[in-house]
Amino acid sequence: MTIRSISYGGGVQSTALLVLAARGDIDFQLFLMANVGDDSENPGTLRYLEEYARPYAADHGIELEVLDRIKRDGTTETLMGRLTKEGSRSLPIPVRMSNGAPGQRSCTADFKIKVIGKELKRRGATVATPATIGIGISVDEIGRANNRRCEAHERIVYPLLDLGLRRTDCARIIREAGLPVPPKSSCYFCPFHRPETWHEQRRNEPELFEKSCQLEELLNERRDVLGKDHVYLTRFNKPLREAIPDGVDLLPLVDEDEGCDSGWCMT
């Protein structure tokens, strides 16, 4: 039998897919969540997972498994752990370079795609009999849909696109199931955050904002030693503390949300 799984990100779109699966509207009984680390994921996403998503899945006979990135020595690696490891020169996240453009990243491949791909292979997926993996991209984000980023033993599908559902539809579906709408999923320090998201973090979650600032500062301290230009978590070419001033709100600008183009994150 062909393996059919949803890549569960813990956000609005993939939680809507969980409800649709429970209702029998889509044929998926396996949901796999690649956890980039309890020290890296949005804490609100992790709380929602334990308080609502896991119990809901169990009540409806759906398998929801959370996967960590396990290294060859058997230890768990987190994205924050890789970024802050002593002596590390790695920049796996899409930090903004001095010209404002996002740098290359490996976070999605290493902590999402490969982790889920490894589990699907363990369950029997092969190149000859690839697993079907559903990604939670809605119609209003159709530009994020692509089949480039997957393993050879996977076939990507987009159930929300097939059903013509938008993000607002996903929120409605979740509420109709009696569940609260989850927060947007992502690493809390993701450079793809919109300026409004950073302002919300500074205002509502100051401890997380401080951790984000400290991460940016650590990365630049290391780049100073290497004689390299500074990098930033926003496109404003200045430190996060200055780019997102305290007590100032920005009006939403629709062209500022680049988002992760893979579809494996922020769903």
How far apart, in whole angstroms, are the C-alpha atoms of residue 56 and residue 58? 5
Question: Any idea what DSSP says for residue 63?
Answer: E
Question: pLDDT, tens digit, for every residue of 131-168?
Answer: 999 999 999 999 888 765 678 999 999 999 999 999 99
Question: pLDDT, tens digit, for every residue of 101-112?
Answer: 788 889 999 999
Average pLDDT for residues 51-63, to the nearest whole number?
Answer: 98
Q: Report angle CA 107, 152, 161 to the nearest 5 degrees.
A: 75
Q: In this predicted structure, what is the pLDDT of residue 149?
A: 64
Q: What percent of the chain has pLDDT over 70?
A: 93
CA distance to 14, 31, 95, 168, 246, per residue, from 164 (Å): 15, 21, 33, 12, 40
What CA dihedral angle connects 23, 26, 30 and 36, to 10 degrees?
-100
Question: How many residues does the structure list for the chain?
Answer: 267
**Is the confidence at residue 250, as pLDDT, over 80?**
no
Q: Indicate the pTM of the whole model.
A: 0.92
Burial 89-114 (b: 16+ CB within 10 A, else e): eebbbbbbbeeeeeeebebbbbbbbe
Q: Where are the domains of the chain?
A: 4-185
Q: How confident is the model at residue 257 (pLDDT cuts 50, 70, 90)?
A: very low
* Mean of pLDDT over the chain: 92
Question: pLDDT, tens digit, for every residue of 65-102?
Answer: 999 999 999 999 999 999 999 988 879 999 999 887 78
4-185 topology per CATH: Rossmann fold (3.40.50)
Q: Which residue from 45, 86, 92 is spatially nearest to 267, judged by alpha carbons?
A: 45
**Is the confidence at residue 255, as pLDDT, over 50?**
no
Contact 234, 244 (CB under 8 A): yes
How far apart, in whole angstroms, are the C-alpha atoms of residue 96 and residue 158? 29
Average pLDDT for residues 25-30, to the nearest whole number?
Answer: 98
**Is the confidence at residue 202, as pLDDT, over 80?**
yes
Q: In this predicted structure, what is the pLDDT of residue 199?
A: 96
Whose tokens are 């970024």? That residue is 83
How far apart, in whole angstroms, are the C-alpha atoms of residue 18 and residue 29? 9
Kind and range of the H or E run holding 5: strand 4-7
